[in-house]
Amino acid sequence: MQGWGMERTCCYYYLSGDEKAGLVCQNWAKWVKANTRVSGGQIVHATNLSWEGSPDEWNSSNFNKANLNASLHGTVSAEGIDLGSIASIIKGLMWVSMKDNDQEGINLVIDVMDAIENYKDDEGYCADEAREDYAKFSSEVYIPSGWSGKNAQGANIKNGVTFIDIRPKYKQDPDWAQVENFINGGEPPRFRYHRFWGQTEIMVANGLISIYGLSKDGSSGGGSSGGSCSSSIQRQGYKCCKPGCEIIYVDNDGNWGVENGQWCGCGDGTSSASASCPKAITDQGYNCCSSCSFVYYTDSDGNWGVENNDWCGMPSNCN
């Protein structure tokens, strides 16, 4: 599935700025934008490709040369909707669009993920699927001539049996009639699958849109919102808080604040706690923590936190 590989490549491009990864992602993004449509709340995208010809022999020095792979041609052979696949593709498009400030790409990201909500039911996200692959149920399974026996379902195992012959319990499924009708020459059965990986792709895509604050108004990109903060925080996709922010948490990546219900980097903020912590802790040579954060340990001396890989005393006014 191209979405998984391209998402990783374009994420790498977003983080590193690698020119070669960028060229691959930019050309791919043009293709995605040309072959993905949202209309009337419904999504249509390329679901199958056909290829003709062969690629040129690989040579790393040819990377930026024109007119390569002239004999290789790929075309869209089928369109439809695969919710998990398009969510994965959209994540790849999101990374390259953010890196290149491509608002057209970001708009498509938002449109597709908004439209996916129209495919939601009580169990998750799914779409009707016509499954022609059930035709294989009538295909013969290789059993050497002369071999015989029974399997756990009580089916006879012998030369010439089909896939369904040795799985008789499938015929007890309430939807077996659809499959049987198709095997006998009818229309392909239609089912609604809530695949776990597909649900995950959709959830992660929505989460990234939220983390990076993507929108169709041109203010997208996950960059600074006016303040400055640690590059380690920004590399994780978080924005910098506005100047004058309140430090809520401190770790090895830097100071963290919260704005609009989202974490942000608070590079020049003020702590919500004073530097006062129990004397029993400072008498041992430990510093007070710079802010109220996670309590890792509590003893008779007080509450202990960790900053810069060392113990610190939690400020006394932390709840």
* Domain spans, the chain: 2-126+193-211, 129-188, 231-271, 279-313
DSSP 233-254: HHHTTPPBPPTTPEE-EEETTE
Domain 231-271 -> CATH class: alpha beta
With pLDDT > 90 as the criterion, what percentage of the chain qualifies?
A: 60
Average pLDDT over residues 157-169: 96
Residue 238 has pLDDT above 60, yes or no: yes
In the three-class reduction of DSSP (H, G, I as helix; E, B as strand; rest coil), residue 86 is classed as helix
Quote the pLDDT of residue 251: 84
For residue 197, give the nearest of 128, 124, 106, 122 by alpha carbon. 124
Q: pTM of the entire structure?
A: 0.64
* pLDDT band, very low/low/confident/very high, at 319 (cuts 50, 70, 90): low
Q: Give the CATH superfamily of 129-188.
A: Endo-1,4-beta-glucanase f.  Domain 3 (4.10.870.10)
pLDDT digits (tens, 9 = 90+) for 65-98: 778 888 999 999 999 999 999 999 999 999 999 9
Among 3.30.930.10, 3.40.50.300, 3.90.1220.10, 3.40.1160.10, name the CATH number for the domain at 279-313.
3.90.1220.10
Top pLDDT among 271 and 283 is at 283
* Domain 231-271 identical in fold to domain 279-313: yes
The pLDDT of residue 222: 45
Q: What is the DSSP letter of 82?
A: -
Strands 246-247 and 270-271: parallel
Burial class (CB in 10 A: 0-12, 13-18, 19+), 265: buried
In contact, 240 and 265? CB cutoff 8 Å: yes
